[in-house]
Amino acid sequence: MDEVNKQGQSIGRKGAESRRRLMDATRELIAVEPAHKITASAIARAAKLASQTFYLYFKDIDEILLALSQEAGADMQDVHDALGSAWESAPPAEQAGRFIEAFTAYWDRHRAILTVRNYLADSAHPAFLTIRQDTAMPLINAIADRMMAAHPDHDLERKSAFARSVIIYSAIERMAARPATMRHNPSMLSLADIQQAEADILTLLFTPTRASIDEQSLLAAPRKQA
C-alpha cells in the first residue's frame, strides 16, 4: 500500500482498519452532535482507540471531515447515471423523477457529513468549498446540458441554462438537506410533495420544443396578484 500515516509509516491492514474506525465513529458523532462540538478525543474514544492514534492518521478534525466529505462525494454514481442515461430512453418526467429520487437517496445516505460539508463551505473554508464545488459542478452542467438539448430550436443561451441549473440544483439540495425539519410539522408539505414539485420543474426544463415554447410564454406572461 502506498499510503502512509503522519509518522511516515506505510498503512497496513490494521492501520487501515483503525483509520476506518475513526471515520465511522466521526460519522456517528456528527449525526447526533453539532460538528463544532466534536473533538479528536471524543472521536478516538468512540472508536475505542487512544486519542494519540487519531493524530496518527489525521492532522485535525477538519482533515477527517474532509476525508468523509470526499468519500461521500465518490458515492454519487447513481445520481450521475440518472442524468446520464440516453435522452430517448424515457420521457422527461420519468428522467427528472429518477434524478430526484437518486439525489434524495444520496442525501439520505450521507446527510450528516453533507450538512457539515456545506456548513463549512458556507463559512468560506477553502477545502470544503472546493469539494462541494467539485461534486456539484458535474451535476449542474449535466442539468444545463439537458436543458440545452431540450431547446435546440430557440435561443436558450448556455449561460442562461447554466444559471437556471444553478438555481434548481441549489433548491433541490436545500430541500434534500432538511427532510427531518419538515417531518416535524405535519401541516407543511410532505417530502413526497416537495419531490414531486422538484421533478415537475425539472420536467418543464427538460421538455423539448413545443412545451418549452409554452414555458417561455408562461415566463413572459404578466404575473397575477396572489
Partner DNA sequence: TCTGCCAAGAGCAGATAGCG
Partner DNA sequence: CGCTATCTGCTCTTGGCAGA
Task: Catalog residues that contact DNA under the rule CB under 7 A.
Answer: 5-7, 9-18, 39-42, 49-53, 55-56, 59-61
CB of 8 to DNA, least distance (A): 8
CB of 132 to DNA, least distance (A): 24
Question: 43: which residues sit within 8 A by CB, 6+ positions away?
Answer: 22, 25, 26, 29, 54, 61, 64
- CA 140 from centre of chain: 11
In a 13 Å sphere around the CA of 178, the CA atoms on its Cβ side amount to 13
For residues 11 and 32, give the distance between their C-alpha atoms in angstroms, rounded to a whole number. 30
For residues 130 and 146, give the distance between their C-alpha atoms in angstroms, rounded to a whole number. 25
| CB-CB neighbours of 208 under 10 Å | 14
CB of 30 to DNA, least distance (A): 14
CB of 37 to DNA, least distance (A): 9
For residues 119 and 122, give the distance between their C-alpha atoms in angstroms, rounded to a whole number. 5
CB of 65 to DNA, least distance (A): 12
CB of 5 to DNA, least distance (A): 6
For residues 155 and 148, give the distance between their C-alpha atoms in angstroms, rounded to a whole number. 9
**Three cell numbers written together for 196:** 414531486
Give me the amino acid identity at 32. Answer: V
CA distances from 165 to 42, 73, 76, 187 (A): 40, 19, 18, 30
